[in-house]
Amino acid sequence: MNRQSKLKATQISAFVDGLILQRRDRERDEECLDNDGEFKELRALIEEIRDVRIDAPTAFQEELLTRLPKMDAVERRVPKSRWRSALGSLFRSVQCAETALRRAAMAAAPSAVVVVFAVAVLVVSRSIWDTPLASAAEVLSRSDAALAKLVHPGQLLYRRWKVTSTTVDPSGATTRRTVRMIHEWMDGGNFDRVAGRWYSSDDRLQIGYATVGKDTDLRPNVYFSPGVYSEPRGVLNIEPTVAEFRQAIQQFPTSEQSALQVYLDRQQIYEPIIGEVRKNRAIIETPHYGVSALPRIVLSLDRGGSLNGSPVYGVRVVDPAWIDFNWRSGGPPLVRLARLETVRFIDRDSYLSVKTEETLRFEDGRQRFTTRELVETKAVSPSESPLDPFKLEIPAGTPVQRQSAVQQLTGVADAFRRLPAFTAFLEHTQTHH
């Protein structure tokens, strides 16, 4: 077997592994361990096939070459997804090869199964690998690009979400359920300039967010209304800039710096719209496994599904080391470690996010289920907005807390030290359920 054929066989090995990885993601096996016996058997099979040399009889070659153009013509007439088309070609080629082999009566073949599969691989590998199959990373990239195209300089991108959240204690009893509306804005001239407002179901302002400053020197300001997060008088938190966070990492031990750097790349701290885009970039472009002690983020794609009658992609992201903040006026925020599973539903035509479902599981066994449904998205001029989203109306007498990058990252580092115990806890509970 020549070098090109061996390369194609290796590609098919990766292709088959990909199918099993996708199935395991759907079954919520986020580990996808490389030492799994199923993977070993598949790889051993491919290795065996690569060294098999088969001289096909003339009758087999002639019949196969005659039937393949007919199969291609049928494929062109029948509309279907590229994914199904590629798999269909593979399975039909296997059937074609099997029929031809039977007719050729190859009694000396080393193994009927191996021969049929090897021939089908060599015949259709080019068509499969030349077929641009969608991936979760590709869908996220297109989603970011579609979002950016909605707004231009001089405009604001506006989105409104209905958010429903339910908290369940370790025994399974519901302890809290909230419904709120979230309004988000992004400046079309500077995507890092963003703002947001959270309102309760009775239209009471809970949280106001705005980046304050010019150009790249933007500082998040977050206002919490009285009563939110147990703040009796409310609080205005003045947050560190991205540059200040990066500089603060240098003050931590070398053994902790890589994990903190990955944490900042993943953009755990809430930022309207742009935070979603930055995290997508980090998931797609940044190696998350092997560069720090943090477990990798698992990304998968469910190609089927519809929402409100429209076809959607379901992009599933599992982060085993999610950080949850509880901001306070009396000091740095409380930091909790959790496992976050997010499913983003992205419209297949527009590539815009239309819904997200989140499941958070905390160290104490509590769980929080949150659904975000897109109500409205559009580009508006600043004059069309009923308020200036970048100007927070702060009541007189509201405490002001200037948050320290070092204090916040100290809480993150402490949480990461608890990660081994948290991982063991999750494994123990999954084993007993």
Instruction: Give me the residue spans of the domains in the chain.
Output: 3-133, 137-431
In the chain, % helix, strand, coil (3-state, to 5) comes to: 40, 30, 30
How high is the pLDDT of residue 83? 44
Q: What are phi and psi of 89, to 5 degrees?
A: -60, -40
| Rg from Cα positions in the chain | 27
Identity of the amino acid at 390: F
Identity of the amino acid at 153: P
Q: Are the C-beta atoms of residues 283 and 299 closer than 8 Å to each other?
A: yes
- Taking only the tens place, the pLDDT of each residue in 298-318 is 888 876 688 888 889 888 888
Distance CA 244, CA 387 (A): 30
Q: Are the C-beta atoms of residues 212 and 219 closer than 8 Å to each other?
A: yes
Q: Are the C-beta atoms of residues 167 and 368 closer than 8 Å to each other?
A: yes
How high is the pLDDT of residue 48? 62
Low-confidence ranges of the chain (pLDDT < 50): 21, 24-35, 75-76, 78-87, 89-90, 93-94, 96-97, 100-101, 104-133, 287-290
Write down the pTM of the prediction.
Answer: 0.66
CA 118 to chain centre: 35
How high is the pLDDT of residue 273? 74
- Taking only the tens place, the pLDDT of each residue in 336-356 is 899 999 999 988 888 888 999
How high is the pLDDT of residue 81? 45
Domain 137-431 is found in CATH 3.10.450.50: no
Tokens for 390? 């970048």
Distance CA 398, CA 395 (A): 6
How high is the pLDDT of residue 156? 94
User: 173: exposed, middle or buried (C-beta count within 10 Å: 0-12, 13-18, 19+)?
Assistant: exposed
Q: How many residues does the chain have?
A: 433
- Angstrom CA distances, 125 to 2, 48, 191, stand at 15, 17, 42
Strands (E), 75-204: 156-168, 174-187, 190-200
